[in-house]
Homo-oligomer: A and B are copies of this chain.
């Protein structure tokens, strides 16, 4: 059996044919023209899929799964609004693609889908209950309970980045103050790095920024390794906020593992070991409770495609 997994982005759409073991058999992609109507772009996508099936002679293609950023009606397969695809509002993508390809079509949020991919076929494959947290521009999350995606009643929950961890704290793009995202995203770390740099003109952070040619999530970690005390504070605070958020999810869900992905997670073991240490010290009931692992995502950019295919494989 084969499922098609598609990762819809604001600049390109990337897809893959995936077998029931989560192995990618072949990939395809197309550029997206944001100024074009959804019908035109999704017709192109459908044509590519039809061509690919013929080209490779795929049999037993079970359906198409789509990971889409934005607000969706997942039950009906409708894109309600997707910020980066302004002409896709209220587009019934599932019915449209079904008509074009003859295949059943399922849609879900891009962060959820990536979590499902990692949980089933990536770093989470040995666990049944995991939470994936993506530390990128924002903080995205995906909750897997008993091997299945959980996204709240009517698919309206699972907004893990928008849990307040500091009432009246830092402003968040969602309109609330003190959200986890405002402390644990790569964007937040960069913002804090810049703030610390302006306050501490002698910090090694400046030198590192020159070497890197920019200020990103890496600066703090690099300068800390060089012994910079300002960077050390920056990293420790970041780890504290990230870990406090994870502990909250521990006390609510007690997953077997957290899977970290996204820009900041590229720091790897250096970040993970700090988070593990914090969790060990602070998790409620941790001494009596089963250990919660903290691991890195392993599928990289393929998690979205594989996860979208998993929607179909699971169905």
The reply on A71 being an interface residue by CB < 8 A is yes
**Stretch from A11-19, A20-28, A219-227, A252-260 that touches the partner:** A252-260
- Are B248 and A164 neighbours in the complex by a CB distance under 8 Å? yes
Contacts A240-B167, A244-B167 given: A154-B290 contact, CB under 8 Å?
yes
Chain B residues lying within 8 Å of A164, measured Cβ to Cβ, are 165, 244, 247-248
A132-169 contacts to B, CB under 8 A, are 145, 150, 152-154, 156-160, 162-167
The reply on A201 being an interface residue by CB < 8 A is no
- Are A252 and B157 neighbours in the complex by a CB distance under 8 Å? yes
Chain B's nearest CB lies how many Å from the CB of A225?
Answer: 25
The reply on A175 being an interface residue by CB < 8 A is yes
Give CA–CA (A160, B128) in the complex, Å: 22
Chain B's nearest CB lies how many Å from the CB of A162?
Answer: 5
A193-252 contacts to B, CB under 8 A, are 240-241, 244, 247-248, 250-252
Nearest neighbor of A240 in chain B, beta-carbon distance: B167
Contact for A162 among B129, B154, B167, B251, CB less than 8 A: B251
Chain B residues lying within 8 Å of A174, measured Cβ to Cβ, are 284-285
Chain B residues lying within 8 Å of A162, measured Cβ to Cβ, are 251, 284
Chain B residues lying within 8 Å of A156, measured Cβ to Cβ, are 254, 285, 289-290
Nearest neighbor of A153 in chain B, beta-carbon distance: B129
- Are B290 and A254 neighbours in the complex by a CB distance under 8 Å? no
The reply on A288 being an interface residue by CB < 8 A is yes
Contact for A252 among B129, B178, B252, CB less than 8 A: B252
| Per-position 1/0 for A96-140, Cβ under 8 A of B | 000000000000000000000000000000001100000000000
- Are B167 and A253 neighbours in the complex by a CB distance under 8 Å? no
Give CA–CA (A166, B94) in the complex, Å: 42
The reply on A191 being an interface residue by CB < 8 A is no
The reply on A280 being an interface residue by CB < 8 A is no
The reply on A30 being an interface residue by CB < 8 A is no
The reply on A44 being an interface residue by CB < 8 A is no
Chain B's nearest CB lies how many Å from the CB of A18?
Answer: 27
- Are A157 and B251 neighbours in the complex by a CB distance under 8 Å? yes
| Per-position 1/0 for A63-96, Cβ under 8 A of B | 0000000010000000010000000000000000
The 9 closest A-B pairs by CB, nearest first: A156-B254, A157-B254, A152-B254, A159-B251, A129-B153, A163-B248, A162-B284, A162-B251, A157-B253
A selection of 17 A-B contacts at a CB cut-off of 8 Å is A80-B288, A129-B153, A153-B256, A154-B254, A154-B290, A157-B250, A160-B252, A163-B163, A163-B251, A165-B166, A165-B167, A166-B166, A166-B167, A167-B240, A174-B284, A176-B247, A178-B244
